[in-house]
Amino acid sequence: MMKERLQEIREKALSQISSTDSLEKLNEIRVSFLGKKGELTEVLKGMKDVAVQDRPMVGQIVNETRQAIEEMLENTKKELSSKLRELQLKAEVIDVTLPAKKNNVGHSHPNTLALEEIKKIFIGMGYEVVEGPEVEYDYYNFEALNIPANHPAKDEQDTFYINDKIVLRTQTSSVQVREMERGKLPMRMISPGRVYRADEVDATHSPCFHQVEGLVIDENITFADLKGTLVEFAKEIFGPDTKVKFRPHHFPFTEPSAEMDVSCFKCGGKGCRMCKGEGWIEILGCGMVHPHVLEMSGIDTEKYTGFAFGVGLERIALLKYEIDDMRLLYENDTRFLKQF
């Protein structure tokens, strides 16, 4: 009876093992036959009921049955593992001939490159870099710069108003006023930053752009100091052969005022497409700080004088890198940006 039971267990186990198709099911079969509550284990518990003389023979059959089941379990496990690995390799195939993924590293914007160069030039001359708020009081943006309420520059078509006292700054000169009010003299500073004007977007205009304005206040400052500083700036940024030309102009916050042109660095002043055949390119406005502006900030005009200048950062970037449309700077096309 015991012998027949063992034969039945053996056949049943081998049949189930041969028909299984997963490692999970295989483990379940192992437990159901060889586990603590498995069928073969239950038979072994009944050995005490076997006649003493029959026990060696029955024990041998039990061992043979266990060995046969374990051997088939192990072989089947190897086969299933091999098949599973083969399927995995097919599913996760790697084409080693494909190009590697590129690590896209960021690149400095032309504006940033131009600003870093301008900063380097003026820091080398002993200037400090100062920043201020983009949302500014009307007083700092206009009144303290000698631009009264009825001035055309305050027209709503030129300026973004938050309310009657707060605007989006139209120039970074407001930062200069804030520094002058602090009364820390002498002063040599540049104030780069974003400014806003209600302009239509085209090849040379944008409602949001950048300026770099400079201010020097000290004793005995003259227009000669202004010219010498800006000549040095022009030669540093456009090349040592650059010539400059100052043309009289009008700004409310400077007197006398001028616009500065540089000789075309593309054609050397002969005339070309870049300078529109004139040989000169306008790059900035400048002048001696108006005494009234100094007085409004509490500076003694009998003792101190100063000069100021303002340059459009985009204008420098467009000229330096020979870009013919300002809109290209803001389209975020990496094919364009990575050229610089």
Q: Mind listing the pLDDT tens digit for each residue in 273-297?
A: 777 888 898 999 999 999 999 999 9
- Please state, for a pLDDT cut of 70, what percent of the chain lies above it: 92
Counting other chains too, the contacts that 3-12 makes at CB distance below 8 Å and 24 or more residues apart are 3/58, 3/61, 5/43, 6/40, 6/43, 6/58, 6/61, 6/62, 6/65, 7/65, 9/33, 9/39, 9/40, 9/43, 9/65, 10/65, 10/68, 10/69, 12/39
Counting other chains too, the contacts that 63-68 makes at CB distance below 8 Å and 24 or more residues apart are 65/6, 65/7, 65/9, 65/10, 65/40, 66/34, 66/40, 68/10, 68/14
Mean pLDDT across 206-220: 93
pLDDT at 42 over 80: no
Of 115, 128, 291, 287, which is closest to residue 212 (Cα–Cα)?
115
Q: Hey, what are 228's tokens?
A: 């010498």
- Judged by average pLDDT, the poorest of 46-50, 150-154, 180-184, 227-231 is 46-50
Mean pLDDT across 63-84: 80
Confidence of residue 256 (pLDDT cuts 50, 70, 90): very high
